[in-house]
Structure 1
């Protein structure tokens, strides 16, 4: 066990602190209180399993980050699209800061690698679960907001959300992947898309399903998830990305 370092009554191992400093360096974010970053990357399940220790989880930072992201994207859209209606502003903002969008950014930043989870959440793949990853990105935004300044966190958020914001403005976000795949493959006429269950694993209370996309009888990508609907969305996403990359 490594040497322990204390930051404002928060105790972490030297290895944990080193990994967080590596994350700060890799993301090229300004100096941030490492104890706050540690909190942003600590899930409630981990805190609950270590109740005897002085551990804070990230729910409050998630709440703050959610509000900050709403402001950042709302302000950006308001200023850059002066003729856009209130309804469209709301729709595009929602598509930009939705769970799917934030989770994709979180994955690209590899935040799941630094996330502290309880044993149950970790063993069931919580480091890659969409809802947890989206919440983690919000927590990071909250941590940046309270330890730097608004301009800094705005620049960071807009930089990493830029591709998703662009897709939302082009009408490519806000729809589910099954709909997007259907629209894509049917540009040249009707196609028959079927989602087939090809596997399921795990106990009844925590099953993982695997669904495969078939288009006009040809099998494409398979996706997995905690429900058949989630697995279908994942399979549709992977198939769409593959087909678009082949253009």
Structure 2
């Protein structure tokens, strides 16, 4: 009863009432808890990735009738990448309902980016199998929300954009310095500082060093653009 109530509450949160609740249960079941009678969500990930891709590609294609393929591709990649799927998963509290084995749970599985991203794709597949493509697409568009409208901006690589900004003003490329690392070895959190030779700097924190550098670059670029408006 507790499991059924938990999944029903989650269904309400994502705006889809499952006709076949077993599909949702499979979508949130990680391989660490799977068994012959309780399959994991791995096959659903494969299908959900394709449903997500078609949903996002169609939305981008319809939103900008003038964009060339070279403009649409980076926007698409920014919206379907694992990091974005994990962000959406966090927005809807997907990690809270994941069914994990004990070791995966103790290692912080509910917060792992890869695990959340995969589960988000599996959830999309579950909705697709339960109610068809249009319903799954509508859920994707609803949950991705403003990310689609902001895709052109989000598609820019922050480190490249910051370097281009600096070079356009005759400045050397920014420097990146790891200033902190915390958490267990299997799930570290990095803090990185991005600094210009003119002295301005910003920091970023993320579960990977590259992601932390990107976060720092994004913050510093936003600051410099605001100051130079």
Q: Is 1:43–1:58's contact at 8 Å kept on the other side of the alignment?
A: yes
Q: Is 1:223–1:233's contact at 8 Å kept on the other side of the alignment?
A: no
Q: Is 1:212–1:219's contact at 8 Å kept on the other side of the alignment?
A: no
* Alignment partner of 2:52 out of 69, 79, 82: 69
Task: Report the CA distance between 1:33 and its aligned residue.
Answer: 1.9
More strand as a share of residues: 1
SS at match of 2:150: helix
Q: Is 1:182–1:193's contact at 8 Å kept on the other side of the alignment?
A: no
Query: Does the C-alpha gap of structure 1 residues 45 and 236 become closer, same or farther in structure 2, counting only changes over 3 Å?
Result: farther
Gaps of 5+ in 2: none
SS at match of 1:160: helix
* Alignment partner of 1:59 out of 37, 42, 57: 42
Q: Is 1:39–1:58's contact at 8 Å kept on the other side of the alignment?
A: yes
Aligned residues: 223
Would you say 1:160 and 2:143 are equivalent positions?
yes
Q: Is 2:176–2:213's contact at 8 Å kept on the other side of the alignment?
A: no
Q: Is 2:94–2:116's contact at 8 Å kept on the other side of the alignment?
A: yes
Q: Is 1:177–1:233's contact at 8 Å kept on the other side of the alignment?
A: yes
Greater RCO (CA < 8 Å, at least 6 residues apart)? 2
Would you say 1:96 and 2:79 are equivalent positions?
yes
Q: Structure 1 runs of 4+ off > 6 angstroms?
A: 183-189
Q: Is 1:197–1:209's contact at 8 Å kept on the other side of the alignment?
A: no
Instruction: Look up the match of 1:10.
Output: none
Would you say 1:213 and 2:189 are equivalent positions?
no
Query: CA deviation digits over 1:136-166, x for unaligned, max 9?
Result: 1111110000101222111111122232222
Instruction: Look up the match of 1:11.
Output: none
SS at match of 1:54: coil
Instruction: Look up the match of 1:135.
Output: 118
Q: Is 2:166–2:174's contact at 8 Å kept on the other side of the alignment?
A: no
Instruction: Look up the match of 2:12.
Output: 25
Q: Is 2:202–2:217's contact at 8 Å kept on the other side of the alignment?
A: no
TM-score scaled by length of structure 1: 0.74
Query: Does the C-alpha gap of structure 1 residues 233 and 192 become closer, same or farther in structure 2, counting only changes over 3 Å?
Result: closer
Query: Does the C-alpha gap of structure 1 residues 187 and 172 become closer, same or farther in structure 2, counting only changes over 3 Å?
Result: farther
* Alignment partner of 1:145 out of 121, 128, 131: 128
In 2, Cα distance between equivalents of 1:178 and 1:125 = 29
Instruction: Look up the match of 1:194.
Output: 176
TM-score scaled by length of structure 2: 0.79
RMSD (CA atoms) = 3.2
Task: Report the CA distance between 1:189 and its aligned residue.
Answer: 8.0
Q: Is 1:95–1:174's contact at 8 Å kept on the other side of the alignment?
A: yes
Gaps of 5+ in 1: 1-13
Query: Does the C-alpha gap of structure 1 residues 201 and 23 become closer, same or farther in structure 2, counting only changes over 3 Å?
Result: closer
